Amino acid sequence: MRRRAALSFTVACVLSACAHQQTPSALPGMAWSLHSVEGEGAKLAFGQPYSDNVVLMLSCQPGSGTVLVSANAPADARPELTLASGTRSARYRADVAPGLGEGALVEASAAAADPVLKRFADSGELSVAVNGRSTAMPGDRAKARQFVASCAG
């Protein structure tokens, strides 16, 4: 009986962990990387270094005042995404395009002066949600601040 209770508890914990948002510990080997290439603009990506395995990409032309937000999503993704940082969050209308493999790419535009991006620049904390599934990324204030400042118009 005790063994059955322990097994039930373990299964319940595993299932509840799967139902909650992904956290940085669920994203091993991933980190923020910041690149600025003339002609291509500034890019801040969260993913596996030196690979195409990217959870979120923020890009802009320096001084444009606009940030393009791109996130990987399931093939049935709805045309919206939500960004959150601290107590700030915003939902954006998005375009959905076929991604690599069986997934999709969800892309939306945000103003560099958007309160969520300002909070991201201050804290380095950011999460993205697509189809109700949220992924929280670890903070990197220096890279966040540098990226948002370069995009500001």
- How many domains does the chain fold into? 1
What's the rounded Cα separation, in Å, for the pair 153 and 132? 31
List, for residues 102-128, the tens digit of each pLDDT value: 889 999 999 999 999 999 999 999 999
Phi, psi angles (nearest 5°) of residue 126: -155, 145
List, for residues 74-93, the tens digit of each pLDDT value: 999 999 999 999 999 999 99
Task: Tell me, yes or no, whether 43 lies in a domain.
Answer: yes
Task: Tell me, yes or no, whether 5 lies in a domain.
Answer: no
Task: Tell me, yes or no, whether 81 lies in a domain.
Answer: yes
Nearest to 140 by CA among 58, 81, 65: 58
Task: Tell me, yes or no, whether 44 lies in a domain.
Answer: yes
Q: Which positions ≥6 away from 102 have C-beta within 8 Å?
A: 75
Task: Tell me, yes or no, whether 89 lies in a domain.
Answer: yes
Total length of the chain:
153
Task: Tell me, yes or no, whether 73 lies in a domain.
Answer: yes
Furthest-apart CA atoms within the chain: distance in Å: 66
List, for residues 128-149, the tens digit of each pLDDT value: 999 989 999 999 999 999 999 9
Sign of the CA dihedral running 83, 89, 90, 91: positive
Task: Tell me, yes or no, whether 85 lies in a domain.
Answer: yes
Sign of the CA dihedral running 20, 24, 29, 31: positive
* Cβ count within 10 A of residue 11: 10
Cβ atoms of residues 86 and 125 within 8 Å: yes
Determine the structural domain holding residue 84 and report its residue range. 21-151
Range 44-57 average pLDDT = 91
Nearest to 132 by CA among 72, 70, 85, 82: 82
**CATH code, domain with 83:** 2.60.40
Percentage, residues of the chain above pLDDT 70? 82
Task: Tell me, yes or no, whether 12 lies in a domain.
Answer: no
